Structures are given as C-alpha cells and as structure tokens.
Structure 1
Amino acid sequence: MMNSVGSPLLWGSFAVVVVVMLAVDMLLQGRKGAQTMTMKSAALWSLLWVSLSLLFNFAFWWYLNGEFGREVADKQALAFLTGYLIEKALAVDNVFVWLMLFSYFSVPASLQRRVLVYGVLGAIVLRTGMIFAGSWLVSEFSWILYLFGAFLLFTGIKMAIAKEDDGAIGDKPIIRWLRGHLRMTDELSGEKFFVRRNGLLFATPLVLVLIMVELSDVIFAVDSIPAIFAVTTDPFIVLTSNLFAILGLRAMYFLLANVAERFSMLKYGLAVILIFIGAKMLLLDLVHIPVGISLGVVASILALTLIINAWVNHRKDKLRQS
C-alpha cells in the first residue's frame, strides 16, 4: 500500500491550484492568440511559477507542522524542494529538444505557444499516470529502487560521454513511421492541427511536432521520475514537485530559446546529478543520505555547473573578439 502524507485537503488544494493556474494561462493564451511570448513575459511567468511552487511548499510545511510536528514538516518540505529542483534542472534538457524540433519543422515562434500549451497538458496527464504507477511498483516491490538507481547511474554516465546527435530529426524511425501512417500536408496551416481538403481530413506538420513534444517528455520523465523516488517515495510529494516543475516549462522555453547555445556545459552537470542520485539509490541500505544533504549536493552541482558555464562562455566571447 502506498503511504503518503497527502490528505484529501492537500490533494484537493493542489488540484485547485493547478486547475486555476492552467485556466488563467490558457485564458491569456486565447486572448493573445498566436502572438509570440516575449522574453519579459516569459521571465515574469517563470518567476510566477517558481514563486507559486515555493508558496505551495510553505503552505505544505505549515499544514504538516500543525498536523505532525516540525520534524515531519521540515523533512517533507525539503523533499518537495529537492524533487522540484531536480525536475526543474532536468527539464532544461527537455526545452533544448523542443527547440530542435521547432527549428527542424520551421515552426514560427507565434505557433510554438499553441503546441506547448497542449504539450504541457499532455505531460501532466502522462506524468500523473507514470508517477502513480511508479509509486505502486515501489510500494509493492521495494527492490525496484535498485533498478531505478542502476538505470539513473547508466543514464548519467551515458549523458556525460555521449556526443551530440547531429543526425537529422526527419531520419528518425518514429518520424518516418508517423509520416507514412498519417495523411499529412506538406506545409503548416496557421495554428490548425487538422485541415480538410477535398472532403478528406489531413494532419498538418503541427500534429507531428506535438506528438514529438509529448514523446520527448515521456523519455525525459523516465529519467526524472525515478530520480525523485531517490528523495521520497511519497506519491503526493513526487507528483506535486514534478508537476509544479513542468507547469512552468512553456515559459522556461521562451526564456531560454534564444540563449540555448550558451548552456553547453549543462549536460555534464545534469549527468553528475543523475550519477549521484543513482549511486544514492544503489547504496540506500549502506549509506543514509538525509534529504537536506541531497538538496545541498544537487544545488551545489547546479551552481558549480553554471559558474563553469559562465567561464566557458566568457572565454568563447573573448576568442570571438580577438
């Protein structure tokens, strides 16, 4: 049986927050139509999502403090924050994949918003199912945590040593299969996913992009969800930290879209985080690492990665100027 601190009140409050914020986001999306999200707007929305996540965590801590005491509240709130930070960091890689997809299919920025709105909605549904399935598996078969750990360790090492994939996206088997099985137009038709021609329904390339966005999120979720299980197996904390992180993905995309090439060192930092988490899961019976220590390690790795990245960018800029 899955053990959780999530009470009906907590689950209900979380659901209300998510539904209200998504409704507000989609309402504004509808009013602005196909306008491009500006850098300023993306920064404000990103700040809003992060602030809302931290506010939710504070409310979560306050509730647990009243119900179970300070020790439980501190531990669970730290678990949420650690899971949120891990997911937020890993999500950056997802953003870069979206950038490649939009670039390959020549989707203008004005149409990217629509794809990402549905992409995030789909990700919420898919990840919710994956998290509950994962929580059930962990509660029934505790040894599966070792499999998660081994997988994350392997993924981290692979990420660190793998070369950039320069192959054309159009040559991927899934793209060829979809194009071969969908009646599809050769060009975009505004924001439309489907159009009728000669009485027949055709998918536009925007459908293909949306499918690839959803598939990419599933692939990244296979990494990020087990990573949070290294911090906590409580389905409420795993789900809330994960969803709060991906709710701000659309704004993060537009915030980073123009500076993606300046994060060349990020994958190495993410690789180290995955290796650390994988090792932590494999050694959980031998070494107990408190949640606070895990949070400190993850935050330190990210901070060091950003510092190194800034130094690398500085050197590249100097070389260009010389």
Structure 2
Amino acid sequence: MSNELVFFGGFLVFIILMLSIDLGMFNKKDHVVKLKEAAIMSFIWVSFAIGFYFLLLTEGHQLHGITNFAELEALTEAHLHNIKLNPNDFVGSLQLYKQNLAIEFITGYVIEYALSVDNIFVMVLIFSAFGVNEKYYHRVLFWGIIGAVVMRFLFIFLGATLIDRFEWILYVFGAFLVYTGIMMFIQRDSETQIDPENHKVVRLASKFFAIHPEFVGNKFFIHINGKRLVTPLFLVLLIVEFTDLIFAVDSIPAIFAVTKDPYIVFFSNIFAILGLRSMFFLLVNIIHKFHYLKVGLAVLLVFIGVKMLGHHWLQGWGFKTSHSLIIIVTILTVSIVASLIFPKRKEHHSSDANGV
C-alpha cells in the first residue's frame, strides 16, 4: 500500500505543480487563447501522457510494489489482466505485466480523450448561449478541470469498489454503454439547445444563491451592499461541471472495459481531462467540420460495451488490450478522415430553392 500511496501522491503533486504553472505563469492575465498557444499546450499534455506510458513500461511494477511472483499473480487475477504468466520466469512475467499496464493506460487515455471531444461540442454551445467573452474561456475551463479531477477521483474509486464486490456490475456498465452508443447514433443529427434562463442548473442555483444579472469581468462572485452574489460566469462554471458529470457516467465505465486497475483508470482519465482545455481551444473553430465524429464515438461506445459484456469469451479467444487499441484508433481515424473527405452539405432553405 505504501508504494501505491507514493506513486499516487507523486502523480498528484505533479498535476498540482503543472496546473499552478499553467495558471500562474502562462495565464496571469485573461486573454483569448490563440491556435498556436493551444497547439503548444496540447503537444505538452500529450507528451506528458506518452512520457507516463514509458514510465509504466519501465517502472510499472512500482505502482503496487510487486516483489515476487505470488504478488504479481494475485494482482493479475484481481485486476483481470489478460496476460499469461510463467511461474518459472518472474522477470519475464513482470516485463509482460508492465507492457500490459502501459498499453491499458494508453488505450484508456485514447478512449477518454476521444470521448472528451463530444464534451467540447457542448461546451461551445454553453459559452455561446451565455455570451461568455472568449478571454474568460480559459478561466472557466481551468476551474472546471479542478472540479472534474475531484469528481473523477470519487467516481473511479467508487466504481472500482463496486466491481471488486459485485463483478456482475461490469455487465450493467456494458449494457449501458451499448445503449448510450445507440442513442448517440440515433440523435447524431439533433441539435442541442442551451436555454440560459431555464437550464436546470440555473434554476437550482437560483434557490441557493443570489444571482447578479450581468457579467462582472472575470469574477465568479461580487459583493453589493454587503451581500454576496454569484455572476453568470459562475453559473457557466456550474453548468460545465454538471456537463462533465454527465460525460463521466459514459467515459469512466468505458475505461473499466480496458482495465480494472483503478489507478490506471484514474491516471488515463486525468491526463485526458487535463488536455481537454488545450484541445478545446485547438478545435473550437473547426469542431463542426468533424460531423462524422459523433458516429465514430457512437460506434466506439457500442464496441466497448460489447467488449465488456463478452470479456470472458474474448479472453478465451486471445483478444488482448492491444487489439482494442487498434480497433479504437481505427474507428476514430475513419470517422475523422470521412468527415474531411465528405464534408457536410450546406442546408438550403426552401425559400432559396424557390428563388425567393
């Protein structure tokens, strides 16, 4: 347990340090994040994730402090790692374990990063509906990420506890993901509407807070006549948090389809979430071009759900995490390439067709 705490604690210290540098050094002043800055930050966060992959590849056994074959075998069985250990070759088996751990991490990272794109669609709508100034986008997303990290921590380790006690819940997760994927495909062309005044989060917040009717710079709270009021920017933050909560219900079970190790689920989830802000600014102006991406994400969720439902049979057939990674990357690549090759046709109103 001490190894897990040290590994996990070191990860949290690293994340806190990077977020502090991000907020204190690169974003002291509110500004519109340009494409170049977003590209650099995206590259940095993706590089960190790749670096963590190699860390697991070389030092993954340190996560749980594995020192002998019995411990390795117990962990492999507890986390349902689909690898064959050789009791006569501890070093080779340990290397196989580390390779599998690293692949599980990167596969979970790709899944979460991909599903985050759907989150970006909604965030764009939220900011547009509330008329948020672009230079305050980063501030809202930064604090939104902080809240998301806390919520993901609670969700993931609660989910791991449930799976450990009730393995049948994996089938519930799988069925839910298949249902979600089918519904996403059916509703792929429907346009989501955000009503700032009647949104359920706004109505709930109005019961607990006094709300100021106008934005006040980058402030979430203001004091007027000794009374504390929340600004519309704080309401936007609450809606962003609520949206992430909804998306977490899909994405976290999806990663549990790849690995049952809660630490790997958490690491892959958090790296993807931390890269979400930079990806938002990178894609915000071109996200509409990837119109087949929702179809790809729907297929992705169905595939993951089916994999979760039939994981015992798939293991018997020799289906490995690396195979899942190949299928997932293929689904995403096809949906992106198809969007670029077959751009969405511009809709013409009937009045235009009649020459009016």
Q: TM (normalized to structure 2)?
A: 0.83
| Corresponding residue for residue 108 of structure 1 | 133
Which of 108, 132, 150 is residue 83 of structure 1 equivalent to? 108
- Specify whether residues 203 and 237 from structure 1 end up closer, same or farther in structure 2 by C-alpha distance, changes over 3 A only: same
SS at match of 2:228: strand
Quote how far apart the aligned CAs of 1:11 are: 1.8
In the TM superposition, 1:146-185 aligns within 5 A as 146-162=171-187, 163-170=189-196, 171-179=198-206, 181-185=208-212
Alpha carbon RMSD of aligned pairs, Å? Answer: 2.0
Quote how far apart the aligned CAs of 1:221 are: 0.5
Unaligned runs of 5+ in 2: 67-90, 349-356
Quote how far apart the aligned CAs of 1:6 are: 6.8
Mapped partners of 2:27, 2:340: distance in 1: 37
1:27 correspondence with 2:57:
no
Mapped partners of 2:130, 2:242: distance in 1: 16
Give the letter for the 2:32 counterpart.
T
- Specify whether residues 62 and 168 from structure 1 end up closer, same or farther in structure 2 by C-alpha distance, changes over 3 A only: closer
Mapped partners of 1:182, 1:312: distance in 2: 48
CA contact (8 A) 2:201 2:238 kept: no
Quote how far apart the aligned CAs of 1:165 are: 3.5
In the TM superposition, 1:1-322 aligns within 5 A as 7-31=4-28, 33-64=29-60, 69-162=94-187, 163-170=189-196, 171-179=198-206, 181-288=208-315, 289-313=319-343, 316=345
Mapped partners of 2:193, 2:40: distance in 1: 35
CA contact (8 A) 1:5 1:236 kept: no
Mapped partners of 2:295, 2:288: distance in 1: 14
SS at match of 1:196: strand
Mapped partners of 1:218, 1:65: distance in 2: 32
Mapped partners of 1:72, 1:6: distance in 2: 17
Of all paired residues, the percent bearing the same amino acid is: 41
CA contact (8 A) 1:5 1:234 kept: no
Give the letter for the 1:156 counterpart.
G
- Specify whether residues 175 and 8 from structure 1 end up closer, same or farther in structure 2 by C-alpha distance, changes over 3 A only: closer
Give the letter for the 2:107 counterpart.
T
SS at match of 1:285: helix
CA contact (8 A) 1:169 1:175 kept: no
Mapped partners of 2:44, 2:27: distance in 1: 19
Quote how far apart the aligned CAs of 1:305 are: 0.7
- Specify whether residues 185 and 56 from structure 1 end up closer, same or farther in structure 2 by C-alpha distance, changes over 3 A only: same
Q: TM (normalized to structure 1)?
A: 0.92
Give the letter for the 1:297 counterpart.
I
Mapped partners of 2:59, 2:6: distance in 1: 10
Quote how far apart the aligned CAs of 1:88 are: 0.2
After superposing the two structures, state which structure 1 stretch, 219-228 or 168-177, moved more: 168-177
Mapped partners of 2:106, 2:3: distance in 1: 16
SS at match of 2:223: strand
Quote how far apart the aligned CAs of 1:311 are: 1.2
After superposing the two structures, state which structure 1 stretch, 140-149 or 65-74, moved more: 65-74
Runs of 4+ in 1 over 4 A off after TM superposition: 65-68
Q: Tell which structure's C-alpha radius of gyration is larger.
A: 2
Quote how far apart the aligned CAs of 1:60 are: 1.3
CA contact (8 A) 1:160 1:268 kept: yes
Mapped partners of 1:55, 1:128: distance in 2: 22
SS at match of 2:311: coil
Map Cα deviations across residues 183-212 of structure 1 (whole Å, 9 max, x no partner): 111110001111122222111101110000
- Specify whether residues 94 and 168 from structure 1 end up closer, same or farther in structure 2 by C-alpha distance, changes over 3 A only: closer
Quick one: higher RCO (CA 8 Å, sep 6+), 1 or 2?
A: 1
Aligned residue pairs: how many? 313
Mapped partners of 2:17, 2:102: distance in 1: 23
- Specify whether residues 297 and 282 from structure 1 end up closer, same or farther in structure 2 by C-alpha distance, changes over 3 A only: same
CA contact (8 A) 2:125 2:194 kept: no
Map Cα deviations across residues 20-73 of structure 1 (whole Å, 9 max, x no partner): 211111112552x11111110000000000001100110111013786622111
After superposing the two structures, state which structure 1 stretch, 193-202 or 39-48, moved more: 193-202
| Corresponding residue for residue 81 of structure 2 | none
